[in-house]
């Protein structure tokens, strides 16, 4: 009997250890606290992982859903953020931060009426809460403004900007203006070199020339198809860049590393030229200038940020209005509607900003037939070209952004086989190296805004190919310094609601 006693005692000790170990609730809180520390360091992916672990131990805690919703918002995964905001409200209808998170996700998706409903509820429950009152008032202004814009919108003849603003040619140039000037109303290489130096010195292009460039680019883009075919000769180099997002000084660094655009050094910029970065005006006029100078050797695809909702939310509209006028902001809206949606190089590489489609039967001819002169719809081919993202899993899934879809390697393979393509190139997502190759080499992401929003610490990248083999060669680069103007400097009135 005595020989069995230690065994019994050991069992009791182990039982005591189990009984006094951390509970599931305590484990959940520990993960939540760790997630909060990652949020402070802006390590959003790690924060999401921690909140997800917390929810495994306590799946009905509204705080964990709300915290994870905020982390998803910071990563622009608005669909996931909305799901977590909805879950937070469901788990605890009295937890007001859940309503804030749901409202922020709705606003990020351009659904201001739904956001207003949440802000209104919080303001009623807490009538003395100044923060709630401000958010409700600001959101209400946006909804009213949108209603007013819809009310005054009438069908107009499809006039070009040149026809609508024919009197702009009579704008006087002040005697003290010493910046670049168009030559006989045309963009020249000399003008472009002077413009870039002018912008580096933080000076502004005269409005007369800015308006003229917009009018000319509008006239040109109207004649382009929705899918532009590009031929790259056998030994010629061709460069593909991703998102620039208003980071003008990093754009200049690309040209420093890879050479200025020319007929022997062609470029394609794959959408999201503006927003977030506070030098978007400088970026877009530089890109439009090169497009006018080298129309057959410089290409631009529309991104999801070349749209009214995104521009109003993320700064471009505010920047254009501050540096020029609200009229010019409206002119940009018309021009962006005419940007091509995708490009195809040598019939073998399809390049679009977002990604692929919710069905398998899409052909290049279908893309050529898209009527693009409009704001991006919430579904369909145009939406998916601008918004979709790849995923590791096979098949398709709901978009983390709440718009478009996520598509797997099997989807990419079938699309390439059906259209006799080697691979697709897209942008739309921050990558640590500035690029990523997935889907067995058939889906390449390129992102050209290093240290995105001055916070992400990522490299930017661009792709060089040659016409004879179309093999992608990647160049990564770090961010360069820029004047002390913070990202989102022109977007505070709306973005302040998303905290």
Residue 118 sits in a domain whose CATH number is 1.25.40.10
Looking at residue 76, its pLDDT comes to: 86
Question: What is the mean predicted confidence (pLDDT) over 400-406?
Answer: 95
Looking at residue 3, its pLDDT comes to: 43
Residue 32 CA to its chain's centroid (Å)? 29
Question: What is the mean predicted confidence (pLDDT) over 328-338?
Answer: 96
Q: Is residue 50 part of a domain?
A: yes
Report residue 167's pLDDT band, with 50, 70 and 90 as the boundaries: confident
Q: Is residue 54 part of a domain?
A: yes
| C-alpha–C-alpha distance, residues 181 and 162, integer Å | 19
Start-to-end C-alpha separation, the chain:
67
- The answer to whether residue 499 scores a pLDDT higher than 70 is no
The string of DSSP letters for 424-489 reads EEE--S--TTSEEEEGGGTEEEEB--TTGGGTS-PPEEEEEEETTT---EEEEE------S--TTT
**Beta-carbon contacts of residue 427 (< 8 Å; ≥ 6 apart):** 242, 243, 270, 271, 272, 303, 353, 445, 446, 447, 448
Are 130 and 193 contained in the same domain?
Answer: no
- The answer to whether residue 297 scores a pLDDT higher than 90 is yes
| C-alpha–C-alpha distance, residues 343 and 113, integer Å | 36
- The answer to whether residue 14 scores a pLDDT higher than 70 is no
| C-alpha–C-alpha distance, residues 405 and 22, integer Å | 40
Question: Could you tell me whether strands 460-466 and 237-241 are parallel, antiparallel, or unpaired per DSSP bridges?
Answer: antiparallel
Domain end among 111, 126, 152: 152
- Extract the tokens encoding 47: 């924060």
Q: Are 223 and 317 in contact (CB under 8 A)?
A: no
Which of these, 449, 453, 447, 428, lies nearest to 42 by C-alpha position? 453
Are 437 and 363 contained in the same domain?
Answer: yes
Q: Is residue 275 part of a domain?
A: yes
- The answer to whether residue 494 scores a pLDDT higher than 80 is no
Are 301 and 388 contained in the same domain?
Answer: yes
Gyration radius of the chain over CA positions: 26
Residue whose token pair is 């994870």:
68
Torsion, Cα 425 427 429 430, to 10 degrees, reads 100
Domain end among 119, 152, 185: 152
Q: Is residue 9 part of a domain?
A: no
Strand partners, 265: 262
Report residue 5's pLDDT band, with 50, 70 and 90 as the boundaries: very low
| C-alpha–C-alpha distance, residues 348 and 470, integer Å | 8
Q: Is residue 14 part of a domain?
A: no
Q: Is residue 334 part of a domain?
A: yes
Question: What is the mean predicted confidence (pLDDT) over 71-90?
Answer: 94
**Under DSSP, is residue 362 helix (H, G, I), strand (E, B) or coil?**
coil
Q: Give me the sheet containing 405-407, strands edge to edge.
A: 389-390, 405-407, 396-398
Q: At what angle do helices 280-293 and 316-323 cross, to 10 degrees?
A: 80
Q: Give the residue numbers spanning the domain of 278.
A: 161-498
Other Cβ atoms closer than 10 A to 124: 10
Question: What is the mean predicted confidence (pLDDT) over 31-55?
Answer: 96
Other Cβ atoms closer than 10 A to 474: 15
Are 95 and 170 contained in the same domain?
Answer: no
Q: At what angle do helices 112-125 and 130-152 cross, to 10 degrees?
A: 150
The DSSP symbol for 349 reads E
Report residue 355's pLDDT band, with 50, 70 and 90 as the boundaries: very high
- Extract the tokens encoding 97: 């931060």
Q: Are 401 and 389 in contact (CB under 8 A)?
A: yes
CATH of the domain at 338: 3.60.21.10
Looking at residue 8, its pLDDT comes to: 43
Are 147 and 165 contained in the same domain?
Answer: no
Which of these, 319, 401, 290, 289, lies nearest to 353 by C-alpha position? 401
Question: Phi and psi (nearest 5°) for 215?
Answer: -65, -45
Mean pLDDT of the chain: 92
Share of the chain above pLDDT 90, in %: 80
Report residue 145's pLDDT band, with 50, 70 and 90 as the boundaries: confident
305 is known as an active-site residue: yes
Lowest mean pLDDT among 9-23, 195-209, 420-434: 9-23
Q: Is residue 66 part of a domain?
A: yes
Q: Are 446 and 459 in contact (CB under 8 A)?
A: no
- The answer to whether residue 155 scores a pLDDT higher than 80 is no
| C-alpha–C-alpha distance, residues 347 and 214, integer Å | 31
- The answer to whether residue 454 scores a pLDDT higher than 70 is yes
- The answer to whether residue 157 scores a pLDDT higher than 60 is no
The residue annotated as part of the active site, out of 106, 198, 305, 482, is 305
The string of DSSP letters for 383-412 reads HHHHH-EE-SSSSEEE-TTSSSEEE-HHHH
Are 210 and 122 contained in the same domain?
Answer: no
Are 105 and 169 contained in the same domain?
Answer: no
Other Cβ atoms closer than 10 A to 441: 12
**Beta-carbon contacts of residue 147 (< 8 Å; ≥ 6 apart):** none
Q: How far is CA 198 from CA 174, 183, 193, 204, in A?
A: 17, 16, 9, 7
Could you tell me where the beta strands, DSSP code E, fall in 127-194? none
Q: For the chain, how many structural domains are there in total?
A: 2
Q: Is residue 8 part of a domain?
A: no
Looking at residue 203, its pLDDT comes to: 97
């Amino acid at each position: 009997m005595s020989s069995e006693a230690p065994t019994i005692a050991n069992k009791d000790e182990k039982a005591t250890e189990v009984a006094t170990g951390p509970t599931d609730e305590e484990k959940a809180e520990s993960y939540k606290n760790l997630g909060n520390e990652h949020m402070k360091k802006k390590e959003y992916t790690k924060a999401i992982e921690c909140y997800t672990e917390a929810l495994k131990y306590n799946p009905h805690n509204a705080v964990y859903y709300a915290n994870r919703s905020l982390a998803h918002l910071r990563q622009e995964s608005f669909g996931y953020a909305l799901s977590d905001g909805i879950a937070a409200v469901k788990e605890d209808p009295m937890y007001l931060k859940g309503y804030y998170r749901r409202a922020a996700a709705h606003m990020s998706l351009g659904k201001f009426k739904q956001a207003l409903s949440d802000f209104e509820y919080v303001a009623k429950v807490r009538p003395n809460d100044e923060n709630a009152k401000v958010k409700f008032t600001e959101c209400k202004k946006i909804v009213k403004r949108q209603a007013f814009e819809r009310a005054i919108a009438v069908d107009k003849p499809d006039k070009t900007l040149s026809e609508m603003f024919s009197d702009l040619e009579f704008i006087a140039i002040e005697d003290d203006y010493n910046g670049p000037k168009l030559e006989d109303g045309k963009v020249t290489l000399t003008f472009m070199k002077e413009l870039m130096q002018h912008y580096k010195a933080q000076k502004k292009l005269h409005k007369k020339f800015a308006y003229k460039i917009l009018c000319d680019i509008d006239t040109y883009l109207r004649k382009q198809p929705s899918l532009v075919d590009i031929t790259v000769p056998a030994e010629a180099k061709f460069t593909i860049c991703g998102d620039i997002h208003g980071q003008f000084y990093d754009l200049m660094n690309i040209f420093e590393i890879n050479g200025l655009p020319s007929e022997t050094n062609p470029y394609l910029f794959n959408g999201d030229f503006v927003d977030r970065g506070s030098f978007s005006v400088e970026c877009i006029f530089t890109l439009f200038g090169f497009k006018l100078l080298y129309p057959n050797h410089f290409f631009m695809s529309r991104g999801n940020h070349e749209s009214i909702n995104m521009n109003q939310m993320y700064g471009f509209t505010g920047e254009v209005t501050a540096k020029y006028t609200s009229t010019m902001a409206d002119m940009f809206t018309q021009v962006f509607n005419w940007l091509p949606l995708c490009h195809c190089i040598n019939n073998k590489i399809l390049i679009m900003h977002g990604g692929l489609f919710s069905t398998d039967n899409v052909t290049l001819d279908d893309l050529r037939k898209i009527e693009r002169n409009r704001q991006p719809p919430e579904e369909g081919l145009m939406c998916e070209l601008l918004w979709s993202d790849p995923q590791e899993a096979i098949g398709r899934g709901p978009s983390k952004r709440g718009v478009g879809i996520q598509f797997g390697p099997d989807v990419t393979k079938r699309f390439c086989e059906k259209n006799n393509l080697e691979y697709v190139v897209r942008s739309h997502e921050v990558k640590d190296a500035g690029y990523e190759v997935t889907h067995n080499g058939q889906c390449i992401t390129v992102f050209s805004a290093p240290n995105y929003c001055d916070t992400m610490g990522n490299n930017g990248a661009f792709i060089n190919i040659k016409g004879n083999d179309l093999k992608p060669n990647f160049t990564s680069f770090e961010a360069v310094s820029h004047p002390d103007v913070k990202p989102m400097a022109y977007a505070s009135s709306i973005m302040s609601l998303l905290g």
